[in-house]
Each structure stands twice: as C-alpha cells, then as structure tokens.
C-alpha cells in the first residue's frame, strides 16, 4: 500500500514540476489528450449513427 501511495505522490510531483517548468508543453499535452478524446467520441457517434440509420 505504501508503494502505491509513493508512486501516486511522485506522479503528482512530476505533473506539478512539468506544469511550472514547461507550461506550453503541458498545455499542448492536455490539448492533445482532449483532441484524442473528441476524435474518439466523434468516431463512436458516427459508428452508432451508421448502425441505426443503416448507411
């Protein structure tokens, strides 16, 4: 249990360090993740639309 907690704190510390030292890089990383989620959601919506409309 202690190892998991230590890894969690280390990951949070890394994110905070990265955010303060490379704010543009952090913003680009978040933007990339959000774009990926949006693309996946759009693809899923197109799939279900095609499934139910028979196109």
Identify whether the C-beta of residue 2 lies closer than 8 Å to the C-beta of residue 8.
no
Statement: the pTM of the whole predicted model exceeds 0.85: no
CA distance 5 to 11: 10
pLDDT tens for each residue of 2-54 = 999 999 999 999 999 999 999 999 999 999 999 999 999 999 999 999 999 87
- Name the pLDDT band for 1 (thresholds 50, 70, 90): confident
Question: Residue 21, CB half-sphere, CA atoms under 13 Å: how many?
Answer: 6
| Per-residue confidence (pLDDT) for residue 55, from 0 to 100 | 60
């Amino acid at each position: 249990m202690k190892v998991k907690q230590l890894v969690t704190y280390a990951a949070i510390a890394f994110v905070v360090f990265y955010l303060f030292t490379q704010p543009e890089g952090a913003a680009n990383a978040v933007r990339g993740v959000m774009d990926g989620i949006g693309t996946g959601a759009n693809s899923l919506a197109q799939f279900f639309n095609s499934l139910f409309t028979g196109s």
